[in-house]
């Protein structure tokens, strides 16, 4: 049985874990998205073994309700919560809440139970500090999503559109190519007319092996890791898990995105991790 903590986290045991794309993943991409550009293959790294210490991770992405507590507690006015560059960015831009929060047309996206979006890596990191937690490393995030057996999705190797909030869900069918996705979904931009994030897929979705939910699709989740080699003056930050705006390739547990730390996309959210406190009396 997976232990669940009162703060909405589950404990993931430490040990050796698999990180990265297995052999043959390029073939999977060619079979499912024959016109996929080569750059998509560059988001994956070859599978390798990594050691991860035990940690606790949020069962769900941080919600609007939880983030509102950070805002009301003055989180945007407390420099000790922010990395120096993030604090300078916040002050220069006058940032005091996530993007979209003050726009009437986006109120549905702000419902309490939905994942918070429109938050930069700086904001996510500040929230994590405020809550006594931190952002997960890529290795931690991937272990929580895939378990021990090198699977492609949190539930197994075959894509299940009922288990992931990706663009397939909103189209109601399989996406057959990158062009199909571009023309049928991305160019139409359905998120302008309706909220496409979901509170949780419990009941019509599936958990990861450790009981963590919504790790495929819904929102890209910021990780602690920097992405180097992009040519950016300030290192970009990695995000994982795909989103409602992308098809199944993005929902694979080893797929990676990256953005500047000030990026505040409609499809970007996060979840937190904590390192369990060792209690010898409990042994």
Q: How do residues 234-272 score in pLDDT, each as one tens digit?
A: 899 999 999 999 999 999 999 999 999 999 999 999 999
In a domain, 283, yes or no: no
The string of pLDDT tens digits covering residues 161-195 is: 989 999 999 999 999 999 999 999 999 999 999 99
Assign 206 a pLDDT band (cuts: 50, 70, 90): confident
In a domain, 23, yes or no: yes
In a domain, 168, yes or no: yes
The string of pLDDT tens digits covering residues 103-139 is: 888 889 999 999 999 999 999 999 999 999 999 999 9
State the pLDDT at residue 48: 87
In a domain, 47, yes or no: yes
Average pLDDT over residues 152-164: 92
In a domain, 282, yes or no: no
In a domain, 279, yes or no: no
Longest dimension (CA), the chain: 60
State the pLDDT at residue 4: 41
- Percent above pLDDT 70 for the chain: 92
State the pTM of this model. 0.92
- Total of domains in the chain: 1
State the pLDDT at residue 3: 39
Q: What are phi and psi of 240, to 5 degrees?
A: -130, 155
The string of pLDDT tens digits covering residues 37-86 is: 877 766 677 888 899 999 999 999 999 999 999 999 999 999 999 999 99
CATH code where residue 270 lies: 3.90.1580.10
Comparing 274 with 103, which gets the higher pLDDT? 274
Four-point Cα dihedral 243, 248, 249, 252, nearest 10:
80
Range of the domain at 163: 5-274
State the pLDDT at residue 279: 47
State the pLDDT at residue 42: 61
Tell me the CB-side half-sphere exposure of residue 174, using CA atoms within 13 A: 8
State the pLDDT at residue 66: 96
CA angle 46/48/53 to nearest 5° reads 135
> Are 219 and 195 a contacting pair, CB within 8 Å?
no
In a domain, 226, yes or no: yes
By the 10 Å C-beta count (0-12 exposed, 13-18 middle, 19+ buried), 51 is classed as exposed
In a domain, 280, yes or no: no
- Percent above pLDDT 90 for the chain: 72
State the pLDDT at residue 230: 73
Give the Cα separation of 63 and 111 in Å (integer). Answer: 9
């Amino acid at each position: 049985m997976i232990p669940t903590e009162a703060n909405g986290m589950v404990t993931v045991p430490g040990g050796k874990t698999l990180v990265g794309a297995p052999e043959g993943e390029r073939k999977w991409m060619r079979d499912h998205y024959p016109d996929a550009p080569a750059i998509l293959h560059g988001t994956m790294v070859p599978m390798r073994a990594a050691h991860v210490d035990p940690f606790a991770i949020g069962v769900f992405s941080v919600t609007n309700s939880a983030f509102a507590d950070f805002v009301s507690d003055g989180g945007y006015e407390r420099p000790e919560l922010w990395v120096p560059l993030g604090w300078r960015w916040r002050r220069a831009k006058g940032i005091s809440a996530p993007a979209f929060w003050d726009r009437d047309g986006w109120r549905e996206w702000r419902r309490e139970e939905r994942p918070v979006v429109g938050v930069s890596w700086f904001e996510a990191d500040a929230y994590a500090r405020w809550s006594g937690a931190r952002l997960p490393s890529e290795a931690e995030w991937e272990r929580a999503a895939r378990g021990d057996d090198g699977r492609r999705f949190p539930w197994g190797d075959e894509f299940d559109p009922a288990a992931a909030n990706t663009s397939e869900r909103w189209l109601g069918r399989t996406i057959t190519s990158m062009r199909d996705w571009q023309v049928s979904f991305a160019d139409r931009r359905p998120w302008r007319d309706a909220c496409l994030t979901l509170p949780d897929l419990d009941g019509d979705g599936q958990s990861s092996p450790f009981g963590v939910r919504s790790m495929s699709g819904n929102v890209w989740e910021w990780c602690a890791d920097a992405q180097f080699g992009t040519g950016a003056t300030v290192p970009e930050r990695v995000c994982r898990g795909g989103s409602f705006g992308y098809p199944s390739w993005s929902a694979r547990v080893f797929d990676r995105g990256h953005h500047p730390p000030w990026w505040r996309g409609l499809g970007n959210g996060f979840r937190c991790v904590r390192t369990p406190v060792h209690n010898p009396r409990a042994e």
